[in-house]
Structure formats: C-alpha cells, structure tokens
Amino acid sequence: MPFPFKEVIERLKEFYMSDVPVVTRIANERHDPFLVLIGCLLSLRTKDETTDKAMERLMKRARTPRELLSIPTGEVERIIYPVGFYKVKSRLIKEISRTVIEKYHNIVPDTLDELLTIKGVGRKTANIVITEGFGLPGIAVDTHVHRISNRLGAVRTRTPDETERLLRDILPQEYWREYNPLLVTHGRRTCAPLSPWCSKCPVSHLCARVGVTRSR
Ligand code: SF4
C-alpha cells in the first residue's frame, strides 16, 4: 500500500499552522533567492532565533551580493555572531557573493547542478534555494526529514541523499516544497532525535515508528 503522504502533510499543516522554519519565513517575506541562500547558510547548526536575529542585522547592512562583498570579513563575523561556525560562514558568505557576481552575473542560479558548483552549497541548501527561493520543485532533505521519513516508514534509507532520491520517486510533486519545512518543524517540536513525543504526535496513527526504542 502506498504511504499516506497526503494525510500526514495535512495533519502536520493543521497542527503546526504558522510555525515555520526561519528560512521559509525569509523566503515568504523577502522573495529573494540570494537572501534565502544566505539565510540557509546561517541556519546550519544554528537555532532559528539566532539565525533570525543575525539575518536581520545582516540585512540592515547589506542585501545584495555586491553589498555583502564590500563588507570586510571581520565585520561580517561581528554581525552574524553568535551563529554556529560564524568565522567559516563569514568567509563563505563573501565567496558565495563573489561567485554569484562573477560566474552568474549577479543572479543566483535556479538549477541543482549550478547551485552545487558554488563553494559551501550542499544538496540540502541547493534544494532549499530551489524550493523556497524560486518556488520550483525540489526536496530538501536534512537530518530531520531523513530521520522522520524513516521513522514513519515512508522510506528505508541510510543517508539524507538516498532519502532525497527516493522521495523524488514516491512523494507526489505537489508536496515537495512543503515537505521540508513541515518535517523540520515536526522534528524540532515533536519527533525529537533521541526521545520523540509520540504521545502528542498528530500523525502517530500513521507512523510505523521504525527504530524508535524510547519515546515520551
Ligand atoms: S509517532 Fe513518534 S516517531 Fe512517529 S512521527 Fe510521531 S513523534 Fe515521530
């Protein structure tokens, strides 16, 4: 029997309502793929509240690749601190800005292959830029999406990349864009890595709880 993606997505949407990850919010408010790309980079290994504040400070100072490139790296570090790996990310922000200007004529590319040529952009970030930045079909798979898809029994995979490829085959395309933000929120609020809150989970009746040995 095919996995009931439609019901899972509808229930998660209803349960979390406007509780969306920071990158989705940036996309909804700014409608700018470049800012989605930078927001996504800042959000890696960083809490949403911290990313949100760092992004606000950064956007007051610069919003375009040229503006960002003109800021000294040390100043970018001070602006985005305390996001995780702020020194590495400051250098990457400048490199990404330079690549977008020099290689892509100031316009963030909208294909997975081109995005993956930019230093510091992995599959997850590239898919988020495609889905959230451009509104094009793509499936961004991070650890939350990978873990929960496996727990639900929707896939049986070992790595996020494998999950992404399989989801491209089995998840109806109409759900590709919202699948990531919904599962990320679900992973943060309910389906925690070590001990998920199965007792208050809105999709518990649809979940196979694969690999779940401890829950609340
Ligand atoms: S029932 Fe438990 S394991 Fe399954 S999705 Fe819900 S919280 Fe996660």
- The mean pLDDT value for 41-67 works out to 95
**Residues comprising the chain, all counted:** 216
Q: How confident is the model at residue 19 (pLDDT cuts 50, 70, 90)?
A: confident
Is residue 124 annotated as part of the catalytic site, yes or no? yes
Ligand 1 pocket at CB < 6 A: 148, 151-152, 190-191, 196-198, 201, 203-204, 207, 209, 212, 215
CA of 183 to the centre of ligand 1 (A): 11
Identify the active-site residue in 110, 119, 142, 200.
142
Cα 89 from Cα 119, distance rounded (Å)? 11
CA of 149 to the centre of ligand 1 (A): 10
Check residue 21 and give its pLDDT: 86
% pLDDT > 90, the chain: 89
- The mean pLDDT value for 15-28 works out to 87
pLDDT tens, 164-176?
A: 999 999 999 999 9
pLDDT tens, 73-130?
A: 999 999 999 999 999 999 999 999 999 999 999 999 999 999 999 999 999 899 999 9
Which pTM does this prediction carry?
A: 0.83
Which of 183, 204, 213 best tests ligand 1's pocket when mutated (most atoms within 8 Å of CB)?
204
CA of 215 to the centre of ligand 1 (A): 9
What are the angstrom distances between the C-alpha of 35 and each of 66, 79, 99? 13, 15, 15
* End-to-end Cα, the chain, rounded Å: 29
Q: How confident is the model at residue 201 (pLDDT cuts 50, 70, 90)?
A: very high
**Angle ∠(177,178,179) on CA atoms, nearest 5:** 95
For the chain, domains (ranges, CATH) are 5-19+139-206 (1.10.1670.10), 22-134 (1.10.340.30)
CA of 153 to the centre of ligand 1 (A): 10
Structure tokens at 132: 């959230």
Average pLDDT value for the chain: 95
pLDDT(18) > 80: no
